[in-house]
Structure 1
Amino acid sequence: MNFIEKNVSVEKAVITLSKNGIQVDEKEAKIILELLYLVSKNHEKPKEKKILYP
């Protein structure tokens, strides 16, 4: 999986998860980050609703 911009390093993910009581190694953190990047890539932005005024 290749993303152009990866803003969160694996090390930072490990630190952030450990602050929240989740102990993971670098391999597990990398998998979690890849999943999150994949979800964000495939997430459709909400369509703007047009409001009609009478």
Structure 2
Amino acid sequence: MSFIDKKVSDKRAIVILAKSGIQVSEEEANIILDFLYLVAKNYNKPEEDKEAESLRRNRTLEKRP
């Protein structure tokens, strides 16, 4: 699977993972990035209108004395 508009290169992913102590090859980094892009592409955002309004109302109620 190949994503044309990748914003993170394989080498950058290797550096980021190395900072967390995870050593991966360029091929493994490519597989990880493909997986993450696939998850992000298929992620369905929750309906913000009902959920956001409920959260705003609850947060406002908590601040009142």
- State TM-score, norm by structure 2: 0.71
Distance 1:7 1:33 in 2: 10
Percent of pairs with identical residues: 57
Higher helix proportion (structure 1 or 2) = 2
CA RMSD of aligned residues (A): 1.7
Unaligned runs of 5+ in 2: 54-65
**Bigger radius of gyration among the two:** 2
- The answer to whether residue 61 in structure 2 is matched with residue 42 in structure 1 is no
**Does 2:22 align with 1:8?**
no
What is the TM-score with the length of structure 1 in the denominator? 0.84
